Amino acid sequence: MKRLISLCLLALPLFPAAAQQTQKPVLHGKNWMAITGKPLAATAGAMTFQKGGNAVDAACTMLAATCTMWDVLSWGGETQALIYNPKTKKVIAINALGVAPTGATPKFFKDKGYNFPPENGPLAATTPGTAGGLMHMLANYGTLSLEEVLAPAMEMAAGYPIEAQTANSIEKNKELIKQWPYSKKVFLTHLGEEREAPNAGEIFVQKDLLQTLTKLVEAERAALKQGKSRKEAIMAAYERFYKGDIAEELVRGSKEQGGLITMQDLAKWKPIEEEPMMVNYKGVEVYKLQQWTQGPTMLQALNILENFDLKGMGYNSTRYIHTLYQAMNLSFADRDFYYGDPYFKPEEPMKGLLSKEYAKQRASLIQYNKNDANIGPGDPYPFEGRKNPYLKMLKKRGYEPDTVRRNFAPTHDQRSGSSMEDAEYQDRLWRGTTTIEAADKEGWVVSITPSGGWLPAVIAGNTGIGMSQRMQSFVLDAELNPFNVVEPGKRPRVTLTPSMALKDGKPYLSFAVQGGDTQDQNLLQFFLNVVEFGMNVQQAAEAANFNTNQLWLSLGGTKIDDRKPKPGHILLNESTPEPVRNELKKMGYTLSFGDRTSGPINAVFFDWKHGSFWGGSSNHGEDYGIGW
């Protein structure tokens, strides 16, 4: 390892990262910070803070607003959250991911000719999780009523000026939307005309969704009149959604269009409060959700990278890019085989995967001057005192988990790469969601990566609720991942991954990003931009980064070849200097380029020296923040 570190030190910084200019200004606030994927939704969060709500109230308001605005998600999707509770000084994990419905088995999908569950349509739907997750967070950690928190979303459902991004997405996907009668009714406001979607700025009305949200408020009001507590009243609305007339219409509408969700599926489902995963990186505690997300991938990568002098390599030098790329490949190879729903057998080897000793072993596999196209899953079981029951399966796939360090002798791979990646593949790799960041002066901090029910979505009956498409993240073959095979009641392993970091026992960073399989790649680089290179949150959110395609895609495509890794394929920022490009080609990389490879990332930094917040909101899309 000493030899590898000394070799890495030969690379020099390209430029002083801290001097980087940004396209958007950093946000400053003393009392609160509200950041999310849409300006109107950030405004809704600010309105909630102005009402006296805390960060949980504001986060729930922004979640409701973004769902109503179809910001690459809707009310039938899933919600993943980390909450810092200043009373207990602990980070709480919220698992509000829906589950596979009754009848969703490998045989069911294989009989229909699928290699993975479909990416669109009613058979792509898990049970709704966002509504239950929102109400659970609000009831347990918020201060306002559900009616107060839903007020902006209800006003939007009654009619808001739709923005170009969503309006154009509807138009782009209108042929798919026409297959589903309730979606067609809501989205195609100019049916039969040349442009059938709403126009940008047009007042977009969602009467059915407004009625559904009104029913939730009515249930809360009725419970309060009966003398129920605030929490009990919110949970009365929860019961109406998952067991009452809203559930009945959702199930009816789903089944009418060929879906599998039953009343029993909805009634059995509940959000789960969990212990988050955590690793310590150079004195910073980094928190992620459990292995039903890809979150521990970033933690594994940090453990690997702790063995290298990253700052000495220089920000985005050839050596830095290569080292991070290899570390990410190692951790993603483990994600692709070992991650799944922890509430189902078999048990994932997370203790081994997140051990520092395992990380050192994985770090020793990195070849200093060459991409390793044959990186596969390792064997974490010995690091938790167990024998790996899947060695034969791994060998059948061509992987031999390494237990010894490889030869670091130089090689001469001169392979050059193409300058463009397949557009459809990149769309699957980047497929978006939204993020929510909220913090207040009382110490509450919330980081959410909600998703599901994005356009083109199947709307379930007359509920106005778009159904999730998260089933596609399951596998049908145990040889691909024995922990993530579809099964009724099971959660798919998702890409959604909010992040939080503490330093000296206090909040340090809260951050999240959209973008499918790139999420923990971008978040890893954002975190290192701050911790290793001294960037502020806005600089770090806009900074040029890169993505590896050497992983199994979690979204899109029902054929095996649609999802397979592309070894050595790397997306670089267009600003990457020519010498770095040439050096990477010599190391066996296939290069492609993008003008914005940095996000969209939203983040809050906690400035304890001055008693203030620093907010960062990427220049990538419509993400927006407000602080006070």
Q: Which of 10-19, 279-288, 458-467 has the lowest mean pLDDT?
A: 10-19
Per-residue confidence (pLDDT) for residue 16, from 0 to 100: 45
Max CA distance (Å), the chain? 77
Which helix (H) or strand (E) element contains residue 28?
strand 27-29
DSSP string, 66-133: HHHTTSSB-TBSBEEEEEEETTTTEEEEEEE---PPTT--HHHHHHTT-SS--SSSGGGPPPP-HHHH
202 contacts 161 by C-beta, under 8 angstroms: yes
pLDDT for position 6: 33
pLDDT in tens, 225-239: 999 999 999 999 999
Residue 596: pLDDT band by 50, 70, 90 thresholds? confident
Domains and CATH numbers, the chain: 296-402 (1.10.246.130)
Going through 151-209 in order, the beta strands assigned E by DSSP cover 160-161, 203-204
Contact predicate 416/585, CB 8 Å? yes
Residue 187, pLDDT above cutoff 70: yes
Query: Residue 437: what are its φ and ψ, rounded to 5°?
Result: -130, 130
Check whether 412 has a pLDDT greater than 70: no
In the numeric block, which tokens belong to residue 150? 């839903």
> Which has the minimum average pLDDT: 33-37, 261-265, 317-321, 598-602?
598-602
> Each residue of 339-353: b (16+ CB within 10 Å) or e?
bbbbebeeebbbebb
- Comparing C-alpha atoms, which of 36, 4, 34 is closest to residue 450? 36
pLDDT-derived band at 419, boundaries 50, 70, 90: very low
The reply to whether the predicted model has a pTM over 0.85 is: yes
The proportion of the chain whose per-residue pLDDT surpasses 90, expressed as a percent, equals 86
Distance CA 461, CA 467 (A): 10
H helices of 288-380, in order, are 295-305, 310-313, 318-338, 350-353, 356-363
**Residue 401 Cα distances to 381, 396, 424, 519, angstroms:** 11, 12, 32, 26
